[in-house]
Amino acid sequence: MTPTDKPVTQRSLFSWVLSGNLKLQLLLVVVIMVTVFARVVPLEMQKRIVNQAINLRKMDLLLTYCGIYLAAVIVAGGLKYLINVLETVIGQRALAEMRKGLYHHILTLPLNFFRKTQPGMVVSSLVTELTTAGTFVGMALAVPVTNVLTLLAFAGYLLWLNPLLAVVSLSIYPIVLLLVPLLQKQANKSNKQRVDVTRTLSSRIAESISGIHEIHSNGAYPLENKKYDRLIDRLLKIRTRWSLYKYGVKTLNNFFNNLSPFLIFILGGYLAMKGRLELGALVAFLSAQEKLYNPWKEMIEFYQVYQDASVRYRRTMTYFNRMPEHALAPADRTAYHLDADLQIKDLSFVTEGGIALLDNISLDLKAGEHLALVGFSGSGKSTLAQCVGQLYKYTGGIVKIGNQEVAQLSKKDMINNVGFVAQHPFIFEGTIEENLLYGCSAALAGNGHQEDGGLPSLDDRIAVLQHTGIFTDVLRFGLITLLTPGIHEDLTRRIVNVRRNFQADFGELLADHVEFFSDDSYLYHSSISENLTLGSANRPEFEPAQLPTNSYFRNFLDKADLTRPLLSLGSGLTRQTVDILGNLPPDEVFFEQSPINATELDDYKLLVQRLKQARLHQLSESDQQMLLTLALRFTPGVHKMVGLPSVLEDLILEGRALFRDKVAAEHPGAFSFFQQDEYLYSQTILNNILFGKPTSSSHQTQEKINQSIIQLLIEEDLLETILEIGMQFEVGTKGDKLSGGQRQKLAIARAFLKNPRLLIMDEATSALDNNSQARIQNLIDSRYKGKSTLISVVHRLDIVKKFDKIAVMRAGKIVEIGTYEELINQKGVLYELVAGKQ
């Protein structure tokens, strides 16, 4: 078996050295040999410069030897850089392959492994623990070969210069070779402890963060702090001990390397004074001895890196050295396409701790039959469903799908025939479409196809969105999308056409529900700033919140004679709001019809006191900005505490035209002004179609608008296009941009889109409202009965009547099974459960 045939967790650290890097390693050896020769040349040049050039006073020799010296130094430096580059490439390649291999292996491990393993442990292993191993692989050949050859070359050169002096100076290294491993052994022992405690610490942190809700709700800060502090204190002692041993190795090495020049000075000086050693040879000897320190130092550091990498690598691989419970794909055949009949006989499942979760379960389902699993919490319903779906490997009995034993089927066989929806489904970061197609893409990838080839059609995707009730949500995501200028030209033109039709066809019908934008009319459901600009800002300084402090806009207000009226309006709003709401608690519900929000009330209370003591023109700049802020956000149709003076309304309409002309001339591109025949890229597709604002946020109003827009999108043949855009909506980490119901619907749609022969639903509708649950159940009854076999763990007993069979479970056993009528008539456990719910 070759190294690449072994599971990644059983490969040795050294197996990565040549794996995929043989050519680079051979190139590295050649470069190293040239580098070592280039390092010896300067030593000989030093001797010749002193003995021949300087001693004989020959300038030509001085220049020649110095030139050779410089060339050798430059070549050696360049080649050393090349060696580092090759080391890095080899090491990073190996690290990437380690991470890939281990990650691929971890994903195949049994689910019960992850019940005992914290996510932080997996993250730490993949991201941190393997890094040193990758670094070592890059060094594994380069460092020992470079430094051993360097040491041999330098030692040979020293012996050639003077055998006696060379033997004396090199005699200290055997002592080092004896003492260093003793210290390193203790360092390795501490390092192993450090890796283990660090791993435990990572798991503890991950557990605390995952359970932060429980910590807060129980006020368990002292308990968690003690657990964490104990680990930190333990790690402190281990890391201190480990560091002391490491520094001991370095100190010992430095001592002996500094002792060597002392011996050379004593003996070499004596030989030079006796005429038995040339002065140039002594200089070269001292230089060579000094250079001997670097390869020796690098070898010691390499040894420490190896020990650290070996400990981390083996600890990591040993921890994950478990095999998948099932083959990922069949070895000598294509994946089965199974009949959907199900046979379960004497099924049992006992945990590693000896707890029997299932006990001699037996039942049969014909292809297309639907089974409901009911019972109290902990009765084994979900465990049974997961054993049938091969998520857990049962410990006894038989489970057969289409006459094939589930325990013997590969994962590929299962995903080709089985769909699974969990009670708490996981939504991956990415788009709605990527999550919708997740199961289908995985099945195709497992067949060796491209993930985007052979996928369900757009019609099929839209159909399953409609069936599961998430269609409207996806359409809304599409409608709230901002389009990119220059990319969707044809689409924007058609949306403008929908806008015209919307106002022509539904303008009168929705007149009480939508206030359409108009150059000639005041918009009572838009703020004063929106009425003045009648557009959307393209620059930050022109955003509504920045206008009160924008000097250009303030100058415009002065020119349009609007500053004084707006300050007066702000003053009235401040007094009126503080008078009405000043003594109420800071709850947002009381401030829904006020331009002042709850967090600002205290500041405006103080402003009222200052208004009593000064006239408007006497107020400070900051106070005037507060009044302008309030006036500019005033929306008459929403903030009904104060009416809009008719004089101010006329001034605003006059100022609107003035502002548009002024900004277009002086700050072109700062605003996108609302024009009936132009698409507004700063607004969503929905806002472009409405070209106005709803006058109410009620569900009825929104529903009328939505139905009108959908009708026009269908007529314009744009519905599918908007849905495609909506399916590109990014759902966020773990789908956190979706509600719980939306995540559940998306997971159900994901399973339905596979059209599996056997569908397992583990309380799959628990997060849905009653109407959505009824929709899903009606779909299952009408579309899948007789076509797909269904096992459904049910939490609502009012939906089990139409199931072909109902199995009632208690303490890991099926206590009764039959049709709804049969079980009710025999007045057993189901009868008691149903009666208890009423």
**Digit-coded pLDDT (tens) for 511-529:** 888 989 988 899 999 999 9
In the structure, what pLDDT confidence band is assigned to residue 439 with cuts at 50, 70 and 90? confident
Q: Tell me how far apart the alpha carbons of residues 3 and 169 are, in angstroms, rounded to a whole number.
A: 43
Contact 429, 734 (CB under 8 A): yes
Answer with the residue of higher pLDDT: 157 or 503.
503
Distance between start and end Cα atoms, the chain: 65
Q: Which helix (H) or strand (E) holds 404?
A: strand 404-405
| Domain residue ranges of the chain, discontinuous segments joined by + | 9-319, 342-470+730-837, 480-719
CATH number assigned to the domain covering 342-470+730-837: 3.40.50.300
Tokens of 357: 């979760």
Answer with the residue of higher pLDDT: 288 or 669.
669
The SS3 call for residue 207 is helix
The mean pLDDT value for 349-361 works out to 88
Please determine, for residue 451, whether its predicted confidence score (pLDDT) is greater than 70.
no
Q: Tell me how far apart the alpha carbons of residues 302 and 315 are, in angstroms, rounded to a whole number.
A: 20
What are 77-97's pLDDT values in tens digits? 888 889 888 888 888 888 899
The SS3 call for residue 826 is coil
- The whole-number pLDDT of residue 147 equals 79
User: Of the candidates 653, 633, 654, 666, which has an alpha carbon nearest to the alpha carbon of residue 552?
Assistant: 666
Q: Is the pTM of this model over 0.85?
A: no
Over its C-alpha atoms, the chain yields an Rg (Å, rounded) of: 39
Contact 739, 443 (CB under 8 A): no
Q: Tell me how far apart the alpha carbons of residues 534 and 209 are, in angstroms, rounded to a whole number.
A: 47
The mean pLDDT value for 339-362 works out to 90
Helices (H), 125-278: 131-139, 142-161, 163-170, 172-210, 212-218, 221-273
In the structure, what pLDDT confidence band is assigned to residue 768 with cuts at 50, 70 and 90? confident
Please determine, for residue 354, whether its predicted confidence score (pLDDT) is greater than 60.
yes
- The whole-number pLDDT of residue 443 equals 82
The overall average pLDDT reported for the chain is: 84
Burial of 437 (0-12, 13-18, 19+ CB in 10 A): buried
Q: Tell me how far apart the alpha carbons of residues 447 and 492 are, in angstroms, rounded to a whole number.
A: 40
Q: C-alpha angle 190/195/198, rounded to 5°?
A: 115
Work out the angle between the directed axes of helices 279-319 and 221-273 (0-180°, nearest 10): 160
User: Is 342-470+730-837 the same fold as 9-319?
Assistant: no
What are 248-259's pLDDT values in tens digits? 877 776 676 666
Give backbone dihedrals phi and psi of 275, rounded to 5 degrees, phi first.
Answer: 80, 15
Q: Give the range with max mean pLDDT: 121-130, 209-218, 282-291, 628-637.
A: 628-637
Q: Tell me how far apart the alpha carbons of residues 99 and 84 are, in angstroms, rounded to a whole number.
A: 22
Answer with the residue of higher pLDDT: 381 or 488.
381
Q: Tell me how far apart the alpha carbons of residues 132 and 95 are, in angstroms, rounded to a whole number.
A: 9
The mean pLDDT value for 56-67 works out to 81
- The whole-number pLDDT of residue 672 equals 86
User: Of the candidates 299, 32, 280, 13, which has an alpha carbon nearest to the alpha carbon of residue 149?
Assistant: 32
- The whole-number pLDDT of residue 440 equals 87
Tokens of 457: 């059609």
In the structure, what pLDDT confidence band is assigned to residue 219 with cuts at 50, 70 and 90? confident
Please determine, for residue 282, whether its predicted confidence score (pLDDT) is greater than 70.
no
Owner of token pair 């089985």: 418
Burial of 144 (0-12, 13-18, 19+ CB in 10 A): middle
Q: What is the DSSP letter of 380?
A: S
Tokens of 756: 């599996």
**Ramachandran bin of 589, using left for φ above 0, alpha for ψ from -120 to 50, beta for the remaining angles:** alpha
Q: Tell me how far apart the alpha carbons of residues 661 and 673 are, in angstroms, rounded to a whole number.
A: 11
Strand-pair category, 671-673 with 535-537 = antiparallel
Please determine, for residue 627, whether its predicted confidence score (pLDDT) is greater than 70.
yes
Tally Cβ neighbours within 10 Å of residue 748: 27
Q: Tell me how far apart the alpha carbons of residues 574 and 595 are, in angstroms, rounded to a whole number.
A: 9
- The whole-number pLDDT of residue 172 equals 67
Answer with the residue of higher pLDDT: 206 or 530.
530
Q: Tell me how far apart the alpha carbons of residues 676 and 324 are, in angstroms, rounded to a whole number.
A: 63
Q: What is the DSSP letter of 165?
A: H
Handedness of CA 45, 50, 53, 54 (dihedral sign): positive
Q: Tell me how far apart the alpha carbons of residues 384 and 388 are, in angstroms, rounded to a whole number.
A: 6
Answer with the residue of higher pLDDT: 570 or 642.
570
- The whole-number pLDDT of residue 2 equals 47
- The whole-number pLDDT of residue 450 equals 46
CATH for 9-319, options being 1.20.1560.10, 3.40.1410.10, 3.20.20.30, 3.40.50.1370 = 1.20.1560.10
Tokens of 505: 């066809």
Please determine, for residue 477, whether its predicted confidence score (pLDDT) is greater than 50.
yes
**Ramachandran bin of 420, using left for φ above 0, alpha for ψ from -120 to 50, beta for the remaining angles:** beta
What are 173-185's pLDDT values in tens digits? 677 667 777 777 7
The mean pLDDT value for 711-715 works out to 91
**Ramachandran bin of 463, using left for φ above 0, alpha for ψ from -120 to 50, beta for the remaining angles:** alpha
Question: Who contacts 724 (Cβ-Cβ below 8 Å, separation ≥6)?
Answer: 458, 478
Burial of 354 (0-12, 13-18, 19+ CB in 10 A): exposed
Please determine, for residue 785, whether its predicted confidence score (pLDDT) is greater than 90.
no
Give backbone dihedrals phi and psi of 814, rounded to 5 degrees, phi first.
Answer: -85, 115
